[in-house]
Amino acid sequence: MSATLEVVSRSAAQPPNYEIRPKVSPTGEIESDLLEIAMGPHHPSTHGVFRMDVILDGERVVKLKPVFGYLHRNHEKIAEGTTYLGSMPYTDRLDYFCSMTNNWAYALSVEKLAGLQPPERAEYIRVIVGELTRLINHTCLLGFLVQDMGALGTPLMYAFREREKILDLFEALSGSRMMCNYMRFGGCRVDLSPGWIEEAKRVVDDYPRFLDEYDRLMSENEILLARTQGVGVLPAELAINASVTGPGLRASGVNYDLRKVDQYGIYDRFDFRVPLGDHGDVYDRYMLRFLEMRESVKILKAALRDIPAGPIMDPKAKIRGFRPKAGEAYGRIEAPKGELGFYLISDGSPNPYRYRVRPPSLINLTILEDMCLGHTVPDVVIILGSVDIVLGEVDR
């Protein structure tokens, strides 16, 4: 075989074209190719393992596809195989910033299923820890959102400093800072330790001072205003149609707060307002959290003042051999991120036949593309930050 290898100098055959000549449409606009970028799954702005497939025209977003499931842990199926009580610590891991409200939502739905009624003191404790959780969540969100805009460090550390005080309260109460596993069907696990109320009162009374400080620190900042106002507008109709709940919905001007609508627990006894936004942009969602925290402080002050003495568990509740009668129940609460619901079907056995979580983070994420279209990549980062997701809850 005599094959001759023909060596051709590439430069001789076809000189490389180093000239970039943009395509121009007949109207004179530059036509460029679209660029697809995967932001994530390991990206500091995505708040966890979450991927956004962004298709860009220049720097404008023309299409955005959220991709999730990287943190899937089979929560619902595991819960169907374990006892009712055994799922309680797993609910801590849903939205790991707000384990107390996750416990509450789950306990509420099981109480509906089994017909349990927590005593007065337990209801007050639940309101107190639930509102403290709201303070934690919103405080951290403000820190993270500002960090997404480039204010590295300082505002987030200020937020974490305040969060630490509430986490100390949770540790004194439940033994753990984040994975509280505190509520039980028909009440709470342990009573408040002596001196806890005084400590909580001190933290709550100090809280408005931090809110004012943070307000002065950030809210008038011209960079923040320029970055957030008019960005990521969510129209009220779209928010309702996509069943968005929580601060995202209220920032669009829809008056819907489960604490007022459902009045679960003892929320009908407290006097508080539901703050609403006008424009539905990132700035409204940012400021709305401030206002909600001020209302939470109001609820907390009233609850810490009025908490009665008494038992903390329904005498009908039992720890071992808990079998609710066959039936189904849906319990929902206003978690800091929106409506958190648990749907349970019981067939009378010690474990649920069906266990379903309605996570606010996942459902609020579905309108991400509509909010991001036409904005630039740095805006996408802060729009995602303002939706307030936690991937433990999105993927379950």
Q: How far is the CB of 82 from another protein (least distance, A)?
A: 6
| Cα–Cα distance for residue pair 223/151, rounded to 1 Å | 10
Establish if 366 lies at the interface with another protein (CB under 8 A).
no
Secondary structure of the chain in HEC code, one letter for each residue: CCCCCCCCCHHHHCCCCCCCCCEECCCCCEECCCEEEEECCEEHHHCEECEEEEEEECCEEEEEEEECCCCCCCHHHHHHHCCCHHHHHHHHCCCCCCHHHHHHHHHHHHHHHHCCCCCHHHHHHHHHHHHHHHHHHHHHHHHHHHHHCCCCCHHHHHHHHHHHHHHHHHHHHHCCCCCCCCEECCEECCCCCCCHHHHHHHHHHHHHHHHHHHHHHHHCCHHHHHHHCCCCCCCHHHHHHCCCCCHHHHHCCCCCCHHHHCCCCCHHHCCCCCCCCCCCCHHHHHHHHHHHHHHHHHHHHHHHHHCCCCCCECCCCCCCCCCCCCEEEEEEEEECCEEEEEEEEECCCCCCCEEEEECHHHHHHCCHHHHHCCCEHHHHHHHHHHHCCCHHHHHC
Establish if 229 lies at the interface with another protein (CB under 8 A).
no
Which residue lies nearer to another protein by CB, 174 or 296? 174
Q: How far is the CB of 319 from another protein (least distance, A)?
A: 6
| Cα–Cα distance for residue pair 373/55, rounded to 1 Å | 10
Q: How far is the CB of 152 from another protein (least distance, A)?
A: 13
Q: How far is the CB of 383 from another protein (least distance, A)?
A: 22
Closest CA to 312 of 187, 130, 196: 187
Q: How far is the CB of 229 from another protein (least distance, A)?
A: 13
Of 213, 237, 268, 278, the one binding another protein (CB under 8 A) is 213
Are the CB atoms for 326 and 348 separated by under 8 Å?
yes
Rg (CA), the chain: 25
Judged by CB under 8 A, the stretch of 166-174, 236-244, 273-281, 282-290 that binds another protein is: 166-174
Q: How far is the CB of 261 from another protein (least distance, A)?
A: 32
Of 59, 164, 205, 306, the one binding another protein (CB under 8 A) is 164
Sites for another protein among residues 57-86 (CB under 8 A) = 82-83, 85-86
Of 179, 274, 276, 345, the one binding another protein (CB under 8 A) is 179
Of 220, 271, 308, 309, the one binding another protein (CB under 8 A) is 220
Are the CB atoms for 258 and 333 separated by under 8 Å?
yes
Sites for another protein among residues 117-156 (CB under 8 A) = 154
Are the CB atoms for 140 and 161 separated by under 8 Å?
no
Which residue lies nearer to another protein by CB, 43 or 318? 318
Establish if 102 lies at the interface with another protein (CB under 8 A).
no
- Lay out the site mask for another protein across 317-356 (x = CB under 8 A, - = otherwise): --xx------------------------------------
Q: How far is the CB of 161 from another protein (least distance, A)?
A: 6
Q: How far is the CB of 237 from another protein (least distance, A)?
A: 33
Q: How far is the CB of 85 from another protein (least distance, A)?
A: 6
Which residue lies nearer to another protein by CB, 23 or 320? 320
Establish if 88 lies at the interface with another protein (CB under 8 A).
yes
Residues that contact another protein, how many (by CB under 8 A):
37
Establish if 205 lies at the interface with another protein (CB under 8 A).
no
Which residue lies nearer to another protein by CB, 138 or 189? 189
Q: How far is the CB of 32 from another protein (least distance, A)?
A: 34
Establish if 218 lies at the interface with another protein (CB under 8 A).
yes
Binding site for another protein (CB under 8 A): 82-83, 85-90, 154, 158, 161, 164, 168, 171-176, 179, 181, 189-190, 193, 213, 216-225, 319-320
